[in-house]
Amino acid sequence: MWLNDQQTIPSAIRRYRKTLAASTPQHIVIDGLFEPQKLDAICAVLHHEHYWQTQKHSYSALYLDDSKWHATPDSERFVQRDLWQGHKAGPDDKQCAIAQEFLQYLRSKEFMALLSKIFDVQITDIHVAKPEVNTNFFRLSAEDFVNQHADDSPGREICMLLYLNRNWSTEQGGELVFMGKDDKTVTIPPLYNRCVLFDPSSEGSEHWVKTVTSKGTTAYRYNVTSWYWSE
């Protein structure tokens, strides 16, 4: 229903695993992993202003209010971006329903089994208190940022980024940048239906996002971020 079957056949899985083993950090980029028609419907929902809420994190504290944020030095500011709050939609909001269904699918046994095959590790939510908070939509404007950080929390095995930006051009910025190895960074543009999967504990996996410019036809860079744990 959600996946492009051609991207999940055995030969594709073997190719992904080979790429993981040879890359620093251990990561793969899969273009067209999901059915585009489904993603189009989701994007139509995300482009509405409903349910978006700004979140602000420092390197030492999460979800800062405005007063604490203003007191935080620029060098200590880690993230400023918008978080989708679709779970607050009412039962009659059918537009939000498809976006919520997709987030639920990304934590389904089917999808986590696929990730487990690719990374050769057993992914499960059995010890995750609130799985739903680990998979969501985000957006960045030219005023927002995601500064350099690592995602290597204990037990976290896989990080997933899925980009939802049609007709995105290089002049719009917003690229994902991995630290890489030997001063050779890895830069990945946030193109539509591009899925990036990486091992957050692997060498060179610290990363950041280049600033989004105001040159594009859309004011925001959209993506899904999802984190996965082992037993």
The full set of domain ranges for the chain reads 5-50+87-229
Q: Is the dihedral of CA 145, 180, 160, 3 positive or negative?
A: positive
The superfamily in CATH containing domain 5-50+87-229 is: q2cbj1_9rhob like domain (2.60.120.620)
How far is residue 47's CA from residue 178's CA, in Å, rounded to a whole number?
28
DSSP string computed for 119-180 = HTS-B--TT-S-GGGGEEEEEE-TT-EEEEE----TTEEEEEEEE--TT--GGGB--EEEEE
Task: Count the neighbouring beta carbons within 10 Å of the beta carbon of residue 219.
Answer: 13
What pairing do the DSSP bridges indicate for beta strands 176-181 and 135-140? Answer: unpaired
pLDDT along the chain (231 residues), means of 10: 96 98 98 97 91 95 95 96 86 81 97 98 91 95 96 92 95 96 96 98 97 80 97 81
The answer to whether 38 touches 32, Cβ cutoff 8 Å, is no
pLDDT at residue number 91:
65
